[in-house]
Amino acid sequence: MVALFTKKGNDAGLRAAPIDGVDVLLADLDGVVYKGKGAIDHAVGALSRAAGSGVRVGYITNNASRTDAQVAEHLSSFGLSVGAADVVTSPQAAVRLLSGLVPAGSTILVVGGIGLTSEVERAGFTVTRQADDLPAAVIQGFSPDVGWKDLAQASFALHRGIPWVATNTDWTIPVEGGIAPGNGTLVSAVHTAVGILPVVGGKPEKAIFDAAVARFGAENPLFIGDRLDTDIIGANRAGMRSVQVLTGIDGPKQLLAADKDSRPTFILDDLRGLFEPYPDVQVADDLLSATAGTAVIRLRGNSLEIAKAGDSGINRLRAACSLLWASGRPIYGLSVAPELYS
């Protein structure tokens, strides 16, 4: 991860735009490109602009309920030029892990929908839904149709001591109606019954990022996400620069409180910011103030204050995050100006 701030003493100007020098742009889907059935404002235009400039654009998703072809079709409906090969899914990463755990052609108990079963079958495994078929492993992914009976069959099978692979463990998933329980809640139910944890293919684990880098031949990738606990932590684990965009799950409150493992390289309001010069955020040597653009944030006692509002809310947030992160002060011990997170 590249540090978001510099110590005071450098020229307080602008850095290059986040996309400059990037050969492969990797985008999460839910909360970055779309919410539910609708595209997020400015996302399609920005991603099309990136592709038109010669940057390879790939898509990474933890959502295991759809195939790569279905995801590509959805993205294409917004006007993006996307094929199945441009989409890396958590089922693909999970099946790669599975292949290293059981013999080729094994019978696998699948908890999930077509997005997962299609990848299991593509890899040459036989799908079952019943523990009585003595599967060699269990693989689990999200589908809105997964119910208690499916989780029970997984539990029955896992009590035999066989491998368990999960596509992802996201606690929540953004849908058109709001925020809904994700695959992590279903995995947790099985974990409670069997007392073990699965091997995980999707974000925040490295497997899905490694698969994307290998597929696209990336040398200088940039990953865009909307949540710290999966997207940004995962990119950091993979040694990849990252963008946190404020169009999905996590917003200013979460960024201000982010621990060292979940801090992005860049913070953007929306994807138009990929092409805009990024401020060289400067933190004073005494760790009591920070500047981004013309915005100045100050730590005074137990208060995080806006010393100068400056040109934009996003620069105030960038300065505040950099100051807190550099100072090591926990946010729960501070009084924070509401304008920084409202």
Distance CA 195, CA 226 (A): 31
**30, 170, 229, 231: which one is catalytic?**
30
Question: Is 311 annotated in the active site?
Answer: no
Contact 290, 314 (CB under 8 A): no
Instruction: Give one DSSP letter per residue of 179-199, joined into a string.
Output: EEE-HHHHHHHHHHHHS---E
Single out the residue of 283, 287, 229, 224 nearest to residue 261, CA to CA.
Answer: 229
The verdict on whether 259 is a catalytic residue reads no
For residues 9 and 16, give the distance between their C-alpha atoms in angstroms, rounded to a whole number: 19
User: Catalytic one among 20, 28, 150, 270?
Assistant: 28
Going by their DSSP bridges, the two strands 335-336 and 303-308 should be labelled as parallel
Determine how many CB atoms are found less than 10 A away from the CB of residue 22: 20
User: Which uninterrupted H or E stretch holds 235?
Assistant: helix 233-237
The Cα 64–Cα 66 span in angstroms is: 6
In angstroms, the CA 341 to CA 324 distance is: 14
CB-based contacts of 52, cutoff 8 Å, min separation 6: none
Residues recognised as catalytic: 28, 30
